[in-house]
Amino acid sequence: SMTPISTIINEQLDWELVNQANEKQTLEMINVLRRRNQLNSLIENVELTKLATSVFTTYNSRTDEEIQSKGLSNKQISEVVTKDSSGAKDSDSLYLNHTSDATWVMSYWFSLETQRELLMNKKLRNSGIRYQNQEVILLLDSLDKL
């Protein structure tokens, strides 16, 4: 059956708010854990946030099934990042495609040694984060030149 157009608009507005709240919450949680480990807080870098956004824009033709089953690979993410910005060639990315729950995202990332070590890297300064419904991309960079 056809969905009335107003419902679609409301869903998009709701997702927009959920995404923004998740971005803020995820970064806050990372910084709480970094400070607990005597590390500097990450600052949100406009350039990195734009790059995270452009990754989703680049792959916006994916179906819900593709997003749920495969998600995006590190290779796909870094291709967009390096194409769109020479300054972010050394950035690392974390990605997840099964939840819109910021607390779950953090628990998952911190349960994996490589992700946890990355998030607790003392050289990190900059972050860019973008949630898109069930997906999240976090870009991290230690470069001062961004």
Tens-digit pLDDT profile for residues 55-75: 999 999 999 889 989 999 989
Token pair recorded at residue 29: 């949680």
CA–CA–CA angle 96, 53, 68 (5° rounding): 30
Tens-digit pLDDT profile for residues 86-141: 666 678 999 999 888 999 999 999 999 999 999 999 999 999 999 999 899 999 98
What pTM was computed for the model? 0.85
- Residue 146 Cα distances to 25, 43, 54, 143, angstroms: 23, 12, 17, 6
Contact 146, 45 (CB under 8 A): yes
- Compute the radius of gyration of the chain from its Cα atoms: 16
Token pair recorded at residue 104: 């779950």
Query: What local confidence, expressed as pLDDT, does residue 146 receive?
Result: 44
Beta bridge partner(s), residue 136: 96, 131
Closest Cα partner for 40 from 126, 112, 117? 126
Contact 110, 138 (CB under 8 A): no
Can you list the pairs that 7-15 forms with residues at least 24 positions away whose Cβ atoms lie under 8 Å?
15/133
Tens-digit pLDDT profile for residues 125-137: 999 999 999 899 9
